[in-house]
Amino acid sequence: MLNRDRLEYSNARTKLEEAVPLEAPFVLFLDPCGACNFACKFCPCNNSDFMIKERHEKMSMELFLKILDDLEEFPERIKVINLYGYGEPLLHPNYVEMVKLIKQRGLCREFCCVFGLGLNDQSLPKEGGRVRVSRFCDSSAEKLHTKIDGISVISLDELLEQKLMNNHVIIISPMHKGVCEEIFSLLVEKGIHEEDIYKYYDYYFLKESFEKQYFDKIMDFGEDEVFVDGGCFDFSTGELFIKKMAELGLEYKKIYAFEPDKANVEKCKEKISNLAVDKIELLPYGLWSDNEYLEFSPLGNSSSHFSELGILGAVGDPSKQFDIASEKVKVIALDSYIKEKVTFIKMDIEGSELGALKGAKHILLKDKPKLAICIYHKKEDLWEIPYYIKTLVPEYKLYIRHYSNYLSETVLYAI
Question: Does residue 212 fall inside a structural domain?
Answer: no
pLDDT exceeds cutoff 80 at 279:
yes
- Stronger pLDDT, 392 or 4, i.e. the higher one: 392
Give the model's pLDDT for residue 124.
30
- Reported pTM: 0.61
Q: Return d(Cα 333, Cα 287) in angstroms, integer.
A: 6
Q: Return d(Cα 95, Cα 34) in angstroms, integer.
A: 13
Q: Return d(Cα 209, Cα 17) in angstroms, integer.
A: 11
Q: Are residues 297 and 402 in the same domain?
A: yes
Question: Does residue 216 fall inside a structural domain?
Answer: no
Q: Are residues 365 and 235 in the same domain?
A: yes
**Lowest mean per-residue pLDDT among 152-166, 350-364, 379-393:** 152-166
Q: In terms of DSSP H, where are the helices of 162-283?
A: 177-189, 200-204, 236-247, 262-275
Question: Does residue 294 fall inside a structural domain?
Answer: yes
Q: Return d(Cα 119, Cα 121) in angstroms, integer.
A: 6
> Given 132, 165, 185, which residue is the final one in a domain?
132
Closest alpha carbon to 235 in 354, 329, 346, 330:
346
Question: Does residue 194 fall inside a structural domain?
Answer: no
| DSSP type of residue 24 | S
> Given 115, 132, 149, which residue is the final one in a domain?
132
Q: Are residues 113 and 257 in the same domain?
A: no
CB within 8 Å of 144: residues ≥ 6 apart: 138, 153, 154, 155
Q: In terms of DSSP H, where are the helices of 87-230?
A: 95-105, 156-161, 177-189, 200-204
Question: Does residue 118 fall inside a structural domain?
Answer: yes
Q: Are residues 19 and 127 in the same domain?
A: yes
Question: Does residue 201 fall inside a structural domain?
Answer: no
Question: Does residue 367 fall inside a structural domain?
Answer: yes
Number of structural domains, the chain?
Answer: 2
pLDDT exceeds cutoff 60 at 118:
no
Instruction: Return the CATH number at 237.
Output: 3.40.50.150
- Which residues span the domain enclosing 57? 1-132
**Lowest mean per-residue pLDDT among 73-77, 221-225, 255-259:** 73-77
The mean pLDDT value for 268-297 works out to: 90
The mean pLDDT value for 304-323 works out to: 39
